[in-house]
Amino acid sequence: MYKINHQIPVEYFVLRERYLRSVIDRMPLIKSGFRGEKEVIRIYSSDKTHYREIARSNKDWDEYRKVLSKREKLQKMLSNVKAALKVYSSKASQPAPEPVNLKNRYGISYYDKLVDESCPYKNDTDYFYDGRHYRSRSEMMIAEWLTELGLEFKHDVLIQVGDSFFTIDFIIIFREFNRCIFTEFFGKSYDPAYNHDNACKLEALTNEGIYLGRDLFIFSGDIKYTPGSDVIKSQLLSIIEQLVCYHVRRE
C-alpha cells in the first residue's frame, strides 16, 4: 500500500494504473479454486462465460501457477494504485498523460535480461527481508521502501560495462517510462581502497552513459553515520518526481 502517496506526483499513479491495466488485460484470466477438497486452476474463456480446470496432476500446473501468481501480484499492485489515486480527487480523473519517449539504452529489454542476485560474492548476513539477504541495514531499508512504493527491482546485479564487470546494489525498472534507475549504497566511505574502487566504477558507468543524478543515485555512510529511513524515503520519492518531470509533458 502507498502509505506516502500524497508526496508522489499524480501523473505517476495515473500512468502506472494505465500500464498495470494493459498488462493484466493481455494476460489470460485464471483463478484458483477447489473441486471438492482438491485445488484447481480455472482458465476462463475470453468472454468469461465458461472455463476449463487444471489439476495438480496436469503437466502444465507449475506454469499456470506462475501466471496466476503474477496476475494476483499485478492485481494487488493495481488496487494499491487505485487507492492512492483517491487522495488526488478530481486530478486523478483527468486523462492519462502521454509519456515523453526519450531514447534510452537502459530500458525494459535491458532490465529483463539482467540476472537477479548474480553477484559472485557470498551474501549471508543477518539483514534478511522478504526472502533476501542484504549486505547492510541500509541496503535492507532501501529494499523495504522500494517494496513499500510498489517498485520492481533486482538486487546485487552483475552487469558488464565495456570490458569490465561490476555489481550494482539495486536496479529499479519503471516500465511506465521504459527506464532503469541504478542505485548504490557505499557503506565504507572511510576506506581509501574502497573509495578508489567505487571511483573506478563511477567513471566506467559515466563513460557508458549512466550519469550520476540522472540514471544513478548513491546513498553513502561510514562507521558513525548511515542514512536513516526518512533519508532513504525522501531520496526515492525525489527519484520518482524527477522521472515524472523527465517523462511527462505537462500542458
> What pLDDT is attached to residue 180?
95
Residue 230: burial class (beta carbons within 10 Å; 0-12, 13-18, 19+): exposed
Q: In this model, does residue 91 exceed pLDDT 70?
A: no
What is the tens place of the pLDDT at every residue in 181-200? 999 999 888 889 999 999 99
Q: Tell which wins on pLDDT, 24 or 96.
A: 24
State how far the Cα of 105 lies from the Cα of 27, in Å rounded to an integer. 27
Q: What's the fold here for domain 108-247? A: tt1808, chain A (3.90.1570)
> What pLDDT is attached to residue 93?
56
State how far the Cα of 223 lies from the Cα of 245, in Å rounded to an integer. 36
Judge contact between 146 and 172, C-beta under 8 A: yes
> What pLDDT is attached to residue 198?
93
Largest interatomic CA distance in the chain: 67
Could you tell me where the beta strands, DSSP code E, fall in 58-202?
127-129, 132-134, 152-161, 164-174, 179-186
What is the tens place of the pLDDT at every residue in 222-245? 878 888 888 898 889 889 888 888
The mean of the pLDDT values for the chain is 86
Q: Where are the domains of the chain?
A: 5-93, 108-247
